[in-house]
């Protein structure tokens, strides 16, 4: 039963970083907080409110309020073209309008939950005299990699090269440094530059360092998914407690409202587990040549596929042949849960990875930048629920590689594919178990709310 604003146990303001991969899990967190009797105010830019209004399939609970600040950051539609400028705007321009909005909220917030990439959030919380929690939107393995790199840097006098490259992992006995995000990518030429020549890796590490002043730390993950990382964090004696409360994926009940979409009707006509669902980043640029190679490779594979790609050209539609369907957008969690979908070609954003795990679908990974590279390693090397398309040493793929990889993943009779599916279904059950009433993530979320609002014993 959803809570009503007139009978709440507290008011929490939630501050997401202005990107789909950050806002979507925050809205799912807001739903769960509202179900626990809290009033939740989510702060968005005006543009993001309009983008969400176009894509909502189910109304938010009455206890979840969306409030906006002016569009002080560049448009989402151009974010990938100049990501460095976008980040600068978030760090410099957003804090003031957010602080002004929070000061006017009625009732005043009892606590703040802020994305770990918003380093001005703790200062706002301090001025308001309320506790703040840091929400880390990526894998716990990535968080650990940052902490180990920080320790390594502390022991060196020359840090610039280490920060810029994210290499020098040979001293790491536990193997978390090889889960560092890959700052440079041919898909985003200026990504490595943040400002004044400062490396993106260093900028990100400096940005998330504020978590140590937070009351607690939230992870969009669950105990059984990243057990080794969470055990290491426990042994590391962090200065603040942490809570794995994910995965933040849509409830299965949400799927029914999208079941009449044209792509769903097309999937209904396909055999079980026969379709490869293809979707890459919602904002990162993929070159026209790569799109062409992927399109031809998918057609060459001989398997059916459903491809969600923005601005699909007539050339792409001509290349895919009769086996494929191309749409500009579709409800990804709904697609992954459809019985006809048997694989997922993904850029390996953390949300997409968690949605595939929740659906029990094996993955074909094609990372484009940042944490997508370590996420791909987790999928392929740690959990063994997917295959890597191409390799990390070179950007791009050719059609023959695409065709071979799709065939390996989608051959339901092959031993390799069967094992990937078996392991994917095991992780699916663990994911669902974490969110049940007495599951680890559900209990962690209860404990987090008590801790944040000062109700813990």
| pLDDT computed for residue 238 by the predictor | 84
For 11-250+434-452, CATH number? 3.40.50.2000
Reading across the β-sheet that carries 132-136, which strands appear in turn?
64-69, 39-45, 11-15, 111-115, 132-136, 216-219, 242-244
Q: Residue 259 is encoded by which pair of tokens? A: 């079941």
Is the N-terminal amide bond of 153 cis, ω within 30° of 0? no
Residue with tokens 């050339």: 315
| pLDDT computed for residue 300 by the predictor | 93
| Nearest CA-CA partner of 275 in 252, 257, 302 | 302
Partnered with residue 44 across adjacent β-strands are 68
DSSP 238-258: -SS-EEE-------GGGGGGG
Q: 350-359 and 20-34 helices cross at what angle (nearest 10)?
A: 60
**What is the per-residue pLDDT across 273-287, written as a single tens digit (0 to 9) for each?**
999 999 986 655 566
Is the N-terminal amide bond of 256 cis, ω within 30° of 0? no
Instruction: Report pTM.
Output: 0.89
Domain ranges of the chain: 11-250+434-452, 257-433
Assign a CATH topology to domain 257-433. Answer: Rossmann fold (3.40.50)
Beta strands in 229-370 (DSSP E): 242-244, 275-279, 304-308, 324-327, 341-346, 363-365
**Residue 309, SS3 per DSSP:** coil
| pLDDT computed for residue 396 by the predictor | 73
> How many Cα atoms within 13 Å fall on the side-chain side of residue 29?
36
Each of the 457 residues of the chain gets a pLDDT tens digit; together they read 344 454 478 999 999 999 888 999 999 999 999 999 999 999 999 988 888 875 655 788 999 999 999 988 777 665 555 666 777 888 888 999 999 999 999 999 999 999 999 999 999 999 999 999 999 999 999 999 988 888 877 665 444 444 444 444 444 445 788 888 875 555 444 444 433 334 567 767 777 889 999 999 999 999 999 999 999 999 887 889 999 999 999 876 554 555 567 788 889 999 999 999 999 866 555 667 888 888 899 999 999 999 988 766 666 777 777 788 888 888 899 999 999 999 999 999 999 999 999 999 999 999 988 899 999 999 999 999 999 997 766 667 889 999 999 999 999 999 999 999 999 999 999 999 999 989 999 999 999 999 998 865 4
Partnered with residue 344 across adjacent β-strands are 277, 363
CA-to-CA dists, residue 348 to 283, 289, 313, 329, 398, angstroms: 13, 20, 24, 17, 19
Q: How far is CA 82 from the centre of its chain?
A: 20
* Whole-number Å distance between alpha carbons of 50 and 47: 5
| pLDDT computed for residue 196 by the predictor | 34
Q: What letter would DSSP give residue 199?
A: B
| Nearest CA-CA partner of 192 in 232, 217, 165 | 165
């Amino acid at each position: 039963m959803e809570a009503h604003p007139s009978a709440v146990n507290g008011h929490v303001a939630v501050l997401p970083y202005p990107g789909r991969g950050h806002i979507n899990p925050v809205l799912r967190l807001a739903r769960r907080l509202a179900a626990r009797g809290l009033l939740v105010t989510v702060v968005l830019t005006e543009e993001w409110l309009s983008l969400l209004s176009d894509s909502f399939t189910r109304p938010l609970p009455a206890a979840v309020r969306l409030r906006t600040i002016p569009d002080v950051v560049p448009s989402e539609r151009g974010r990938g073209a100049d990501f460095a400028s976008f980040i600068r705007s978030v760090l410099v321009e957003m804090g003031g309008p957010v602080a002004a909005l929070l000061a006017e909220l009625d009732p005043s917030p009892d606590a703040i939950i802020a994305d770990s990439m918003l380093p001005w959030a703790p200062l706002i919380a301090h001025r308001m005299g309320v506790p703040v929690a840091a929400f880390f939107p990526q894998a716990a393995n990535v968080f650990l990699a940052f902490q180990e790199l920080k320790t390594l840097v502390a022991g060196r006098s020359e840090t610039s090269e280490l920060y810029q490259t994210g290499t020098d992992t040979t001293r790491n006995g536990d193997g978390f440094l090889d889960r560092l995000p890959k700052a440079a990518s041919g898909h985003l030429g200026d990504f490595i530059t943040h400002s004044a020549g400062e490396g993106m890796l260093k900028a990100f590490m400096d940005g998330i360092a504020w978590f140590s002043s937070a009351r607690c730390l939230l992870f969009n993950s669950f105990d059984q998914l990243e057990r080794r990382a969470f055990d290491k964090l426990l042994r590391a004696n962090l200065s603040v407690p942490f809570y794995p409360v994910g995965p933040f994926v849509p409830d299965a009940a949400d799927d029914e409202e999208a079941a009449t979409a044209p792509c769903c009707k097309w999937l209904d006509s396909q055999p079980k587990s026969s379709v490869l669902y293809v979707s890459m980043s919602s904002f990162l640029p993929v070159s026209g040549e790569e799109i062409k190679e992927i399109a031809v490779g998918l057609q060459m594979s001989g398997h059916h596929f459903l491809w969600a790609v923005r601005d699909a050209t007539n050339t792409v539609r001509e290349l895919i042949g009769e086996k494929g369907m191309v749409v500009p957008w579709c409800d990804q969690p709904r697609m992954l849960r459809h019985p006809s979908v048997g694989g997922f070609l993904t850029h390996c954003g953390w949300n997409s990875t968690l949605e595939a795990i929740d659906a029990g679908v094996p993955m074909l990974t094609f990372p484009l930048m940042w944490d997508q590279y370590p996420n791909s390693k987790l999928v392929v090397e740690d959990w063994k629920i997917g295959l890597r398309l191409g390799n990390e040493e070179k950007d791009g793929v050719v059609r023959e590689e695409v065709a071979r990889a799709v065939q390996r993943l989608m051959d339901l009779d092959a031993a390799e594919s069967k094992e990937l599916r078996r392991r994917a279904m095991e992780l699916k059950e663990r994911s669902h178990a974490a969110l049940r009433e007495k599951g680890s993530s559900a209990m962690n979320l209860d404990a987090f709310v008590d801790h944040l609002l000062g109700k813990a014993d």
